[in-house]
Structure 1
Amino acid sequence: MRDFHFPGRSPVLSTNGMCATSHPLGAKIAIDTLARGGNAVDAAIAGAVVLGLCEPQMTGLGGDAFVLLKPAGSEDVLALNGSGRAPAGASAQKLRAQGLKTVPETSPHAVTVPGAVDTFCTLSDAHGKLGIADTLAPVIAYFDDGVPVAPRVASDWALAADTLQGSARDLYLVDGKPPQVGHRLALPGQAEVLRRIAKDGRAGFYEGEVAADMVATLRAAGGVHTQEDFAFTASDWTDPISGLYKGVELVEHPPNGQGATAILMNNILAQFDIAGLDPMGAKRAHIEAEAAKLAYDARNRLLADPDHTARLAHMLDMETARRLAALINPKRAMAAAAPLTEAIHKDTIYITVVDRDRMAVSLIYSIFHSFGSGMASDKFGILMQNRGAGFTLDRWHPNEMGPGKRPMHTIIPGMLRKDGRVTMPFGVMGGAYQPNGHSRFLSNMVDFGMDAQTAIDAPRSFADGSVLNVERGYSDTVRAELYAMGHDVRTPDTAIGGAQAIRIDESGYLEGASDPRKDGCALGY
């Protein structure tokens, strides 16, 4: 329990249902959906969609989504991969011939076909109660009427405003400048798109006028997309992967998600007495940073579209972790791991919902970089992701850009299971940080006995390439010790990531936790 003499958040407790996410309106819409008879799937979809209006720099209909789902009455976990694919005309060779070393982040070549809408429709059809039309109905009015810009959103907006181009500048800037806190943002064009999805399902987005609008905008900018690329987009049910950390099972998405990175990092940390260290001390931060360098190096070399990934078992093997752990010097930083094969970013939304029947949804939804590609479709204003920047242009690499391929993906929802029972859906936003964030969050609870809210609140560090980003929550003494170990210690411009979680207590109540680094909250009823 926290010390009530200091600022902080208490966990939120309820019995009938709970939502935790990064904006209060998303949480409210989700709880309202539960209260009117929807289940956790309906609530998560409604909350996620409205977050595309509340946090448009983070997510939207032009993005991708991944879902982990625990059905009611079961302790199984299902995985739904809603990541889109490169168009059939995509070619790494053609980009290399232009002298490019990486996929340009604000070009149409970085735009993969958005998978989120198909994910929402597939999830609703398979496991929802209300149907997609009923689920979206209360959300559409917000897109028509607008919502005030929240403080963290305004801060992120100002940092990324230069990404916006063409018609997107008219939609997302006010007299050419980022909006201030309290400015009301409305997206009536997207409200119309949602009405079409409500009426016609996925066809309202991937076929007809809406798809034609996106394709025309991309092709006018030099893209190779066709309406056939959009029409054949489909999310896939897959089998999750998992690994144990001191008796707690971490459940993740398989490739093309990067969840295996978190499992490998946990396995490396398991070779050290982390629980015997100061949780806020330099030694723990150092070992975690070294483990991250090694785990991310494996990720960069091995993870890709599942049809092109052949060494997943190697990443999950405990012997691999033991050999990597042996490379760590507890007193000295190693050189940075190989450069990341995907562009770094920190922009994602995450929502988790648990209902009265204990169906649990862990859903993450993103347009990749802040404002994605910076391009919006001309008629409906759909901001398009730049997830294709997650490909490499290196010849023969498993993650090389290619027609119809899915790029290695940073967004990963998580779930925890202990003794066969699902105990917590959770997620950590923050792009490349996410596997490190999953590992840190789990270690905070398992190694140091923190509750979920305390584990989220605790300061973070992240070995990002050659730099060790250290939040201001760490003391100057710790910073000095890390510097003496050989780390290039920096203070990041913004806080590292953001997290949300719901603990399902065996006695019957729910405990929600929400990251103060974001504008959101946990709400229950």
Structure 2
Amino acid sequence: MIGKARLLAALAVFGGVMIGFGDSIKADDLVARGDNRGTRINGADWATRSPALATNGMAATSQPLATQAALDVLKAGGTAVDAAIAANAVLGLVEPTGNGMGGDLFAIVWDPKTKKLYGLNASGHSPKGQTLDDLKAKVKAKGLDAIPGWGVLPVTVPGTVDGWFTLHGKFGKLPMKDNLAPAIHYAREGYPVTQLISYYMQRSQPMFEAKFKDGVLEEIDNYRKTYLIDGKAPAEGQIFKNPDLANTFEAIAEGGRDAFYNGPLTDTMVAYFKRLGGALTKEDFASQHADWVEPTSTNYRGYDVWELPPNGQGIAVLQMLNILEGYDLKAMGHNSVDYLHVMAEAKKLVYEDRARFYADPKFVDVPVEGLLSKAYAKKRRALIDMKKAAKEVDPGDPILGHGDTIYMTVADKDGMMVSLIQSNFRGMGSGLVADGLGFMFQDRGEQFALDASHPNAYAPGKRPFHTIIPAFMTKDGKPLLSFGLMGGDMQPQGHVQIVANIVDFGMNVQEAGDAARYYHTGSTEPDVLKRMTDGGELQLETGVPQAVADALRARGHAVSYSKGPYGGYQAILRDPETGVYWGASEMRKDGMAAGY
């Protein structure tokens, strides 16, 4: 039997401690909740389901068709990377509100052959022929004072397709046409739109129409043709087809990476941007390349937690964990007043560093080593007052001596595990769809700062600050957990909560994602110099008791209950003794974890 006892044994190997989340409830102990939610027979009563278990392969994505596509590829002999590419391609079709080949990609791969982690940064760069002054003039001409999230101005070179082929070149086994076949099939034959994705598509339509009316979005006909049915965004259960995207996938399957970056598709994209006054050129596309990077880590209570270095925000997770390591979170209690207070205060401190230092390391010197040192964490920890919420904090001195996204993870029979995140950034993206190509371009360039003195200031050929971050956890050099939690500046906060839920509170991978979350917003952002001066706002899910919220207000926090954003979580845990995969998927999304 693999249940609480098996996970207890697995975590015991790694020093984890289980508490009573999984204890069965006796009939005499039952009380009426009155919230119309069913009662589980065993496991945590507030959990939505049990973890998925399998030995030959596992996939956890935010849409069931993508999960099934990954499993089909695994069963056909593909690696976890092949399956991840297949799932990601399907997600670009079935969840266009969060990702697609017009966006960027980051990944962490555990390779069982070399027994090490590999990081991939497949984010795109700004137009090389456009200066900061050029961009500022264009922003001003639209009557704006910051880079908008729509139209040509925030569009950077899409890095996803390059990321697929780079991953495939190192870890793939099946032909790329086989990996893209599921996406081509669903794009041409159609699929029923799921509940949450339909909601987001319907929410996006009036926004794009308003931005077009305001003149921020240069054209809207291609969006309407691609994503609307009889002039309306798809309803839940309605069959949606995207034949243009099917053709684009087929062109890439046949012509490879160059079909997108130095071929007919490139010509179509460049001509489209030129027509709209955009700055991206064919040379910009041809010069795009993903970078293999060394993942960086910190040790948290005996577990090594891994993230990717800037231009992403992953090291914010590690900085927060370093600060929190000095507190007994388990003794505080999950989602208690002290727990939520110290979490929010640590986040405030780290996000000031995030706004001050995180940027493209090819353009600025990012002091990663200093930011992640335990000594620096100790100095920052000393600034936390457990009785009072900070209204304003400064970035530190580590030189010691902000979207919609998908996260998914896949594991195969050989032990390869892929942690992959991919995004179009805010909303569905820029609102722009090149003629006949069937996908929307990202608006990631919105995150550039326009102040030349800022580390994240716009520059030609520069990668913007990135919010999307994949994560991984190892113990004693062995793979344990491939995980992620998408959602702009929620991501580092979400990663930290997942780590604490598993390591400090002994939850299984599904419970760790189902537990009520917090989201602190209002910190200083990397694209502006306006400082946080009011302490921001601490948003809570309704699973946190009212008494806790009241006590947090008494400490000076601005607290509210909200429906989000709390991210979208997926995870795969590998049992170190048996090799069994434990899969989990986000109950706040339409997703599914499944294996075989």
Normalising by structure 2, what TM-score?
Answer: 0.85
> Is the contact between residue 81 and residue 171 of structure 2 (CA under 8 Å) also seen in structure 1?
yes
> Is the contact between residue 242 and residue 250 of structure 1 (CA under 8 Å) also seen in structure 2?
yes
Secondary structure at the aligned position of 1:399 is classed as coil
For 1:187, the equivalent position in structure 2 comes to 242
For 2:558, the equivalent position in structure 1 comes to 488
Distance 1:226 1:36 in 2: 39
Secondary structure at the aligned position of 1:48 is classed as helix
Match of 1:395 among 452, 469, 478: 452
For 2:15, the equivalent position in structure 1 comes to none
Match of 2:161 among 117, 131, 152: 117
For 1:350, the equivalent position in structure 2 comes to 407
- The residue type paired with residue 266 of structure 2 is A
Match of 1:32 among 59, 72, 76: 72
Q: CA deviation at 1:357?
A: 0.3
Secondary structure at the aligned position of 1:41 is classed as helix
For 1:13, the equivalent position in structure 2 comes to 53
Secondary structure at the aligned position of 1:290 is classed as helix
- The residue type paired with residue 161 of structure 2 is V
- Larger-Rg structure: 2
- The residue type paired with residue 235 of structure 2 is Q
Match of 2:367 among 277, 295, 311: 311
For 1:201, the equivalent position in structure 2 comes to 256
Distance 1:263 1:289 in 2: 15
Cα-to-partner distance string for 1:138-173 (whole Å, 9 max, x where unaligned): 321111112111111122223322343331123222
For 1:48, the equivalent position in structure 2 comes to 88
Distance 1:162 1:93 in 2: 32
Q: How does 1:438-517 map to 2 (within 5 A)?
A: 438-465=495-522, 466-506=536-576, 507-517=578-588
> Is the contact between residue 166 and residue 375 of structure 1 (CA under 8 Å) also seen in structure 2?
no
Q: How does 1:374-393 map to 2 (within 5 A)?
A: 374-393=431-450
> Is the contact between residue 359 and residue 366 of structure 2 (CA under 8 Å) also seen in structure 1?
no
Q: CA deviation at 1:457?
A: 0.6
For 2:35, the equivalent position in structure 1 comes to none
Q: How does 1:358-373 map to 2 (within 5 A)?
A: 358-373=415-430
Secondary structure at the aligned position of 2:229 is classed as coil
* RMSD (CA atoms): 1.6
> Is the contact between residue 357 and residue 367 of structure 2 (CA under 8 Å) also seen in structure 1?
yes
For 2:265, the equivalent position in structure 1 comes to 210
Distance 2:170 2:455 in 1: 32
> Is the contact between residue 243 and residue 251 of structure 1 (CA under 8 Å) also seen in structure 2?
yes
Q: CA deviation at 1:337?
A: 5.6
Distance 2:282 2:207 in 1: 26
Match of 1:327 among 379, 383, 388: 383
For 1:151, the equivalent position in structure 2 comes to 195
- The residue type paired with residue 356 of structure 2 is R
- The residue type paired with residue 310 of structure 1 is V
Larger mean Cα displacement after TM superposition, 434-443 or 168-177: 168-177
> Is the contact between residue 39 and residue 128 of structure 1 (CA under 8 Å) also seen in structure 2?
yes
For 1:518, the equivalent position in structure 2 comes to 589
> Is the contact between residue 132 and residue 460 of structure 2 (CA under 8 Å) also seen in structure 1?
no
Cα-to-partner distance string for 1:205-225 (whole Å, 9 max, x where unaligned): 112221122222222222111
Secondary structure at the aligned position of 2:306 is classed as strand
Distance 1:337 1:198 in 2: 50
Secondary structure at the aligned position of 2:356 is classed as helix
Cα-to-partner distance string for 1:212-265 (whole Å, 9 max, x where unaligned): 222222222221111111111111111111111111001111111111110001
Distance 2:56 2:494 in 1: 29
Secondary structure at the aligned position of 1:171 is classed as helix
> Is the contact between residue 473 and residue 482 of structure 2 (CA under 8 Å) also seen in structure 1?
yes
Distance 2:316 2:434 in 1: 34
Name the CA shift for 1:204/1:338 in 2 (closer, same or farther; >3 Å): farther
> Is the contact between residue 323 and residue 346 of structure 2 (CA under 8 Å) also seen in structure 1?
yes
Q: CA deviation at 1:495?
A: 4.9
Match of 1:251 among 278, 298, 306: 306
> Is the contact between residue 90 and residue 401 of structure 1 (CA under 8 Å) also seen in structure 2?
no
Q: CA deviation at 1:401?
A: 0.8
Name the CA shift for 1:145/1:336 in 2 (closer, same or farther; >3 Å): farther
Larger mean Cα displacement after TM superposition, 54-63 or 269-278: 269-278
Distance 1:384 1:521 in 2: 27
Distance 1:286 1:159 in 2: 33
For 2:526, the equivalent position in structure 1 comes to none
> Is the contact between residue 53 and residue 147 of structure 1 (CA under 8 Å) also seen in structure 2?
no
- The residue type paired with residue 367 of structure 2 is R
Could you tell me the percent identity over the aligned residues?
Answer: 43
> Are 1:297 and 2:352 matched, yes or no?
yes
Q: How does 1:173-184 map to 2 (within 5 A)?
A: 173-184=228-239
Distance 2:394 2:158 in 1: 29
Name the CA shift for 1:429/1:446 in 2 (closer, same or farther; >3 Å): same
> Is the contact between residue 31 and residue 43 of structure 1 (CA under 8 Å) also seen in structure 2?
yes
> Is the contact between residue 424 and residue 502 of structure 1 (CA under 8 Å) also seen in structure 2?
yes
Match of 1:434 among 466, 485, 491: 491
Distance 2:131 2:310 in 1: 21
Normalising by structure 1, what TM-score?
Answer: 0.96
For 1:235, the equivalent position in structure 2 comes to 290
Distance 1:151 1:324 in 2: 43
Distance 1:399 1:72 in 2: 36
Secondary structure at the aligned position of 1:108 is classed as coil
> Is the contact between residue 430 and residue 496 of structure 1 (CA under 8 Å) also seen in structure 2?
yes
- The residue type paired with residue 328 of structure 1 is I
> Is the contact between residue 445 and residue 451 of structure 1 (CA under 8 Å) also seen in structure 2?
yes
Secondary structure at the aligned position of 2:504 is classed as helix
> Are 1:263 and 2:318 matched, yes or no?
yes
> Is the contact between residue 495 and residue 517 of structure 1 (CA under 8 Å) also seen in structure 2?
no
For 2:179, the equivalent position in structure 1 comes to 135
Larger mean Cα displacement after TM superposition, 169-178 or 350-359: 169-178
> Is the contact between residue 349 and residue 394 of structure 2 (CA under 8 Å) also seen in structure 1?
no
For 2:136, the equivalent position in structure 1 comes to 96
Secondary structure at the aligned position of 2:474 is classed as strand
Distance 1:166 1:473 in 2: 43
> Is the contact between residue 93 and residue 183 of structure 2 (CA under 8 Å) also seen in structure 1?
no
> Is the contact between residue 120 and residue 291 of structure 2 (CA under 8 Å) also seen in structure 1?
yes
Cα-to-partner distance string for 1:391-428 (whole Å, 9 max, x where unaligned): 11121211111111001111110110101111111111
> Is the contact between residue 151 and residue 181 of structure 1 (CA under 8 Å) also seen in structure 2?
yes
Distance 1:297 1:156 in 2: 31
> Is the contact between residue 502 and residue 511 of structure 1 (CA under 8 Å) also seen in structure 2?
yes
Secondary structure at the aligned position of 1:455 is classed as helix
Distance 2:276 2:517 in 1: 40
For 2:28, the equivalent position in structure 1 comes to none
For 1:422, the equivalent position in structure 2 comes to 479
Q: CA deviation at 1:336?
A: 5.0
Q: How many residues align?
A: 520
Name the CA shift for 1:321/1:235 in 2 (closer, same or farther; >3 Å): same
